[in-house]
Amino acid sequence: MATTSFDKKALERDARVDGHFDALVIGAGFSGLYQLYCLRDRLGLSVKVLEVADGVGGTWYWNRYPGARCDSESHSYCYTFSEELSREWEWSERYPGPPEILRYLNHVADRFDLKRDIQFNSHVKSAHYDETANLWRVATNAGEQMTAQFLITAVGCLSSANIPNIRGLDTFEGRWYHTGQWPHEGVDFSGKRVGQIGTGSTGIQAAPVIAETAAHLTVFQRTANYSVPARNGPLTPAFQRYVKENTAEIRNVTRASVNGHPWLIEDRSALETPPAERQALYEKAWEIGGLRFRAMFSDLLVDKKANDTAAEFIRNKIREIVKDPATAAKLADIDHPYAAKRPPIDTDYFETFNRDNVTLVDIRATPIERITPRGIRTSDAEYPLDIIVFATGFDGMTGSLLRMDIRGRGGLSLAKAWAAGPRNYLGLQVAGFPNLFMVTGPGSPSVLCNMPVAIEQHVEWITDCIAHMRQHGLKRIEPNDEAMDSWVEQVNAAANATLLPDAKHSWYLGANIPGKPRVFMPYAGGMAHYRKICADVAARDYEGFKLST
Ligand code: N01
């Protein structure tokens, strides 16, 4: 569809809200809130945030499933831009759950008076670039239209729920839910026969909590998964004091690290460490719990033999924990290297299979044939169910962007531009879509990083870029094709230097969505390295971008 001729006055007359802004931001999660603050309060721009939910929080607004918790540690899962904010906020647990994260984000929104520039309940239907006026025309489902010079998507990487197209779901007489669209009033499982499909990070968090109240829980596992104990618990006053006294140091470590966590990867090889010592180190990491396990050795993600040592350690733990050998064998039959998929952390996941009211069904051996009015039928049995929980993940990284009708120069749709995969420059911009910035887009470290660290870097880079444009009277920015081609090569090379592409069914590759191009989407070269690349690009006068008046 070609862009229609632009009539700003008519648009503003017709619009139900103020029509024109310097910048429109889509989404009011971690990214959108900070982007609003930076553009409005630091640069003095007029900004509107459009948010589909009726509150702030992004992923945490929607993901309220049982057991939901952040897998980054709370003292690093937060903003660092304001010393006052860091001083006054106190996390209560090692891994916060949605209520505490939502309290935090509401606190941030209120403290910086952000809500007055957020329009809630606003679903962005389309965003079309008007070349003549150099403006983005954004329409909501409610029929509102707004314009802005800059359009910034802050839609998160995991917001587009993947509800698999399983035959017969419409005939199911019980209730069903997707974990990423969880009812805010909660779901009462007591006395119910529950079927859970999916054993990724979400399913691994949800199953133990559902099993506590359900009459019976049947977990349908397609791909077995590694998991390490989270070891969640309340933060001690001593730790809270440590965090307050070391805020700057903790921030510096998160910025220097590969994954944005408050620790560095140990400088020792699993293969070169004598087996007894290596075993002791894994035991120690298992006791400490959490994603730090992955950082125990430097070669886990680059050398298959090194990775095998971690994989075998976890498989042995599964066999130790799970009493029924047949169930343990199914849980330990993992087909990818450790951490090649996002590594889950859990609270009593494997222990849950020792409960009398929990059954594991291996749907790789006996696939789901259909959902019936009574439950789920696999190739060899029917499981009567009252509730089905889809813990089946998301159309990651590109889903939330492509479900909006985004069109650039000449009416080119983003879906068409990305038909072969999300080609872009630095995960920030796409040629043909001037002044459109993505926060934590595909091609950036995003989901391979502790998200707030990635988000702050992106938002600050975008803010500095817009400030630069305004200082120099520049009106348009977009990457050139060569820069995009080169970046795509670098993203591929970074992934191929690791074991990440060895997980063939990973959502990092888009493999969970039928028909989605198989492209490794996040940048795997490390957050610290990526930060430097972006800073160098800016320092070299935005090398690879075309800036024009
Ligand atoms: O989704 P997933 P998730 N039939 O895609 C299975 C973040 N997160 O929601 O592996 C049967 O990882 C699928 O099986 P398979 C985190 O980044 C963060 O768990 O494709 N099964 C898999 O087992 C994470 O990586 C936190 O064979 C089907 C599962 O469903 C990301 O969200 C907490 C199926 C999906 O796993 C996504 O995790 C939770 C089908 N048709 C999540 N389709 C934090 O703590 C899919 N599956 C921050």
Q: Which residues line ligand 1 (CB under 6 A)?
A: 69-71, 158, 164, 197-203, 205, 222-223, 342, 363, 391-394, 447, 505, 507, 512
Mutate to test the pocket of ligand 1, among 59, 63, 158 (most ligand atoms within 8 A of CB): 158
Task: Please give the pLDDT value at position 505.
Answer: 87
Å from CA of 392 to ligand 1 middle: 5
In contact, 219 and 199? CB cutoff 8 Å? yes
Question: What does each of the 549 residues of the chain score in pLDDT, given as a tens digit?
Answer: 333 334 455 444 444 445 999 999 999 999 999 999 999 999 999 999 999 999 999 999 999 999 999 999 999 999 999 999 999 999 999 999 999 999 999 999 999 999 999 999 999 999 999 999 999 999 999 999 999 999 999 999 999 999 999 999 999 999 999 999 999 999 999 999 999 999 999 999 999 999 999 999 999 999 999 999 999 999 999 999 999 999 999 999 999 999 999 999 999 999 999 999 999 999 999 999 999 999 999 999 999 999 999 999 999 999 999 999 999 999 999 999 999 999 999 999 999 999 999 999 999 999 999 999 999 999 999 999 999 999 999 999 999 999 999 999 999 999 999 999 999 999 999 999 999 999 999 999 999 999 999 999 999 999 999 999 999 999 999 999 999 999 999 999 999 999 999 999 899 999 999 999 999 999 999 999 999 999 999 999 999 999 999
User: Which residue owns the Cα nearest ligand 1 atom 8?
Assistant: 201
The answer as to whether 134 is a domain residue is: yes
- The radius of gyration computed from the CA coordinates of the chain, to the nearest angstrom, equals 24
362 DSSP β-pair partners: 221
End-to-end distance of the chain based on CA atoms, in angstroms? 26
Determine, yes or no, domain membership for 277. Answer: no
8 Å CB contact between 156 and 29: yes
For residue 481, give the H/E element and its range.
Answer: helix 481-496
SS3 175: strand
The residue whose CA has the least distance to atom 7 of ligand 1 is 201
Residue at 476 is within a domain: yes
CA 508 to chain centre: 10
Q: Is residue 181 part of a domain?
A: no
What is residue 88's DSSP assignment? H
Q: Which amino acid is at 87?
A: R
Ligand 1 center–CA 346 separation, angstroms: 14
- The residue whose C-alpha atom lies closest to atom 25 belonging to ligand 1 is 342
Q: Is position 308 within any domain? A: no
Per the domain annotation, does 180 fall within a domain?
Answer: no
CA 338/CA 347 separation, integer angstroms: 18
**Tokens representing 509?**
């590759």
Cα(345) to centroid of ligand 1, in Å? 13
Residue 70 Cα to ligand 1 midpoint, Å, equals 15
Task: Go through 438-459 and write b for each residue having 16 or more CB atoms within 10 A of its CB, e for each that does not.
Answer: bbbbbbbbbbbbbbbbbbbbbb
Domain boundaries, position 97: 8-160+396-548
Neighbours of 41 (CB within 10 A): 13
Task: Determine the residue of 62, 165, 202 to mutate for testing ligand 1's pocket, defined as the one with the most ligand atoms within 8 A of the Cβ atom.
Answer: 202
Residue 189 within any structural domain of the chain: no
Which among 342, 390, 453, 513 is the best mutation to test ligand 1's pocket, defined by most ligand atoms within 8 Å of the CB? 342
Write down the number of H helices and E strands in the chain.
17, 20
Q: What is the pLDDT of residue 303?
A: 98
Dist. CA 343–CA 60, nearest whole Å:
19
Measured by CA distance, the residue closest to atom 34 of ligand 1 is 392
Give residue 181 CA to ligand 1 midpoint distance, Å.
14
Give the CATH number of the domain where residue 103 resides.
3.50.50.60
Q: How many domains does the chain have?
A: 1
> Ligand 1, atom 48: nearest CA belongs to which residue?
70
pTM for this entry:
0.95
Identify whether 445 is part of a domain.
Answer: yes
Instruction: Return the closest-CA partner of residue 331 out of 433, 438, 219.
Output: 219
Question: DSSP string covering 270-304, please?
Answer: TTTS-HHHHHHHHHHHHHH-SGGGGGG-TTTTT-H
Closest ligand 1 atom to residue 158 Cα is 32
